[in-house]
Amino acid sequence: MRKSGTPFWIGAAVVVGAAALAAWLITNEYYFFAGYIVVTFVILATAWNILGGYAGYVNFGTAAFFGLGAYTSVVLIQSIGAPLAVQILAAALLSGLLGFGAGLLTLRLRGIFFAIATVALIVIMETLFINWRYVGGATGIQLLRPSPIPPFESYTKMLFVGQVIMAVVAVAVARYMETSWIGRGLRAIRDSEEAAECSGVPTLKLKLAACTVSGALMGAAGAPMPMYLSFVEPASTFNLTYSIGALASAMVGGTATWLGPVLGALLLSTIQQIVTVTISNEMNVLVVGVLLVVFVVAAPEGIVGLLRKLRRAK
Amino acid sequence: MTGSALLRVSGVSKHFGGFTALAEVSLEIAPGERFGLIGPNGSGKTTLINCISGSLRNDGGSIVFDGEEISALPAYQRTRRGIARSFQVPRPFSSMPVVENLVVPLEYVVHRGSLHKADTRAEAMELLHGIGLADKAETPSSRLTQVELRKLELARAMAARPRLLISDEAMAGLSSSEIDEILKILFKLNESGITIIMIEHIMHAVMRFSQRVVCLDAGRIICEGTPAETVANPDVQRAYLGA
């Protein structure tokens, strides 16, 4: 029943190769600075979709996991000057643990109550870091970038390529979950939790697994953020825009498959980046709102659903 | 029958706030039995089978299946031990085609741990053939008719390879030829050795199907016996049949 994985892996290799090639050929750093954010949202939307799309548990807490990832890096840089790869792995581990713990406490709640609990998670995490002087407290902390690792001559380009690789890993994880028995179990939960349980699906365990993996990927996506900005402060790190961006990207792209969040994030974040530069920073939030409303009303199955309909019509 | 019961429910009670849905209900079901459960709306039939299948936890009493106390087990564990059910209001996995609905229990119950060796889709197709849904295998389950949905409920329950099948009003709202169709399926399953609890309001179907009938009223068993005895019982007539 499994589709062949070869075209997927060829595609993944092409994407990483193209990113590396671009980093080599294009000299204007701004494209990588903007592209980094777009790719970060690809990871966040992909991670969000594992719990929100496949299992139908709408999570507003993306910013909590993302922020924990970023602050894990800050702590590691401050204390032992850990390299980027260690920061990312540690962030994934801690955010995964947060996902597991939060899931244990909240996944018995359904629908809107679960969503509310995840909003609370952001507030808790933000409060925690505002009151921790070691990582800068409410005023934030300035960090010095180390020199890039060769062959990269710029740190921003290096972060961009690293983030692309992370995105490919995230999509591969989501795709594995989607196409295996795990994904079928999660979809059964979304369709009817009671019927799933009576069909032998260990619903709580499966939701916990989804929440843990989803949280770990979100944390990993946040880990390079301190080095990307050279500055971290709680209000913008635990910002609801990450939650909404991740959710909106998945909804706009389509939540049923791994491709949806990828397309959604590419479209939404690219438009946002363009609008931020050409019009204003406030307008880019409006873009998300308008697109989300349009898609929820007119194309609830997202871009992927629209493409499928087009193909069927031919 | 004490030693050989497949399912033994003793003194099971269930409260919702101050409302007593089940008050010390006890019953035993023998292996291979065709058992009917009747009673007026709100008498606790569905609550009782929710307690047996694990969708609800009973507040008191014990439920023993095949010699093992199961009342503390989550529902999926009970399904894996051999208790499957259909739902009164069909709950298909509506995002999946019909055949995939059956793959879920095949993957999570029957072939758990050895998935690579199993052709779950072929097995699911076989079950669909048996129940007469094979031509709808690739149809999205959200597009089925009522009778097809009831069949899917039964087929999905069967895919878990149960020893005890609980059919919760599988025939409500169906035409008489459709009722005959479902009855035929249930008889066939019973002949293959599966114990069946049938909850039903359609009296002639329960009468034809059951070897033994229990009538619940306000969370208590008011009568137990053969279908003929049950219908003749004055309590049943007053509480349920409207005499």
Q: How many domains does chain B contain in total? A: 1
Per-residue pLDDT band for A101 (boundaries 50, 70, 90) equals very high
Q: Which residue has the higher pLDDT, A4 or A123?
A: A123
pLDDT of residue B3: 58
pLDDT of residue A2: 47
Nearest C-alpha in A relative to B81 = A200
pLDDT of residue B34: 95
pLDDT of residue A282: 78
B180 within some domain: yes
State the residue range of the domain holding B218.
2-91+162-241
Query: What pTM, to 2 d.p., does this model score?
Result: 0.90
A286 within some domain: no
**ipTM of the shown complex:** 0.90
Which DSSP string corresponds to A120-156?
Answer: HHHHHHHHHHHT-GGGTGGG-EE-PPPPPPTT-S-HH
CA distance B20 to chain A (A): 23
Q: What percent of chain A has pLDDT over 90?
A: 61
pLDDT of residue A107: 80
pLDDT of residue B115: 75
Which residues of chain B are within 8 Å of residue A188 when distances are taken between CB atoms?
A: 93, 96, 104
Amino acid at A59: N
Q: How many domains does chain A contain in total? A: 1
CB contact B230 to A (< 8 Å): no
Which residues of chain B are within 8 Å of residue A190 when distances are taken between CB atoms?
A: 95
A261 within some domain: no
A281 within some domain: no
State the residue range of the domain holding A83.
6-240
pLDDT digits (tens, 9 = 90+) for B85-104: 999 899 999 999 999 999 99
For residue A111, is pLDDT > 90? no
Average of per-residue pLDDT across A45-53 = 95
CA distance A121 to chain B (A): 28
For residue B163, is pLDDT > 50? yes
**Residue B40 belongs to domain with CATH number:** 3.40.50.300
B44 within some domain: yes
Per-residue pLDDT band for B112 (boundaries 50, 70, 90) equals confident
pLDDT digits (tens, 9 = 90+) for B27-37: 999 999 999 99
Is A198–B84 a contact, with Cβ atoms under 8 angstroms apart?
yes
pLDDT of residue A231: 92
A91 within some domain: yes
Nearest to A192 among B53, B91, B120 (CB): B91
A287 within some domain: no
For residue A3, is pLDDT > 60? no
Picking from A278, A258, A185, the residue whose alpha carbon sits closest to that of residue A217 is: A258
B127 within some domain: no
Average of per-residue pLDDT across B160-166 = 94
Tell me the count of A-B CB pairs closer than 8 A. 85
Nearest to A194 among B91, B100, B105 (CB): B91
A242 CB-side CA count, 13 A: 29
CA distance B138 to chain A (A): 14
Of A172-176, A303-307, B38-42, where does the model show the most confidence?
A172-176
A71 within some domain: yes
H/E stretch holding B195: strand B195-199
For residue A146, is pLDDT > 90? no
B110 within some domain: no
B102 within some domain: no
For residue B243, is pLDDT > 60? no
Nearest C-alpha in B relative to A301 = B95
Interface test mutation site (partner B, options A176, A184, A189, A198, max chain B beta carbons within 10 A): A198
B144 within some domain: no
Q: Which residue has the higher pLDDT, B96 or A136?
A: B96
Nearest to B108 among A190, A192, A199 (CB): A199
What is the distance between the alpha carbons of residues A40 and A32, in angstroms, rounded to a whole number?
12
pLDDT of residue A105: 86
B107 within some domain: no
Which DSSP string corresponds to chain A?
Answer: -PPPSHHHHHHHHHHHHHHHHHHHH---THHHHHHHHHHHHHHHHHHHHIIIIIS------HHHHHHHHHHHHHHHHHHH---HHHHHHHHHHHHHHHHHHHHHHHTTS-THHHHHHHHHHHHHHHHHHHT-GGGTGGG-EE-PPPPPPTT-S-HHHHHHHHHHHHHHHHHHHHHHHHHSHHHHHHHHHHH-HHHHHHTT--HHHHHHHHHHHHHHHHHHHHTTHHHHHSEE-HHHHT-HHHHHHHHHHHHHH-SSSTHHHHHHHHHHHHHHHHHHHHT-TTHHHHHHHHHHHHHHHH-TTHHHHHHHHHHHH-
| Residue A305: CB atoms within 10 Å | 18
For residue B1, is pLDDT > 50? no
A294 within some domain: no
Average of per-residue pLDDT across B207-233 = 91
pLDDT digits (tens, 9 = 90+) for A257-305: 999 999 999 999 998 888 888 887 777 788 888 888 988 888 888 899 8
A140 within some domain: yes
Picking from A296, A298, A226, A259, the residue whose alpha carbon sits closest to that of residue A66 is: A226
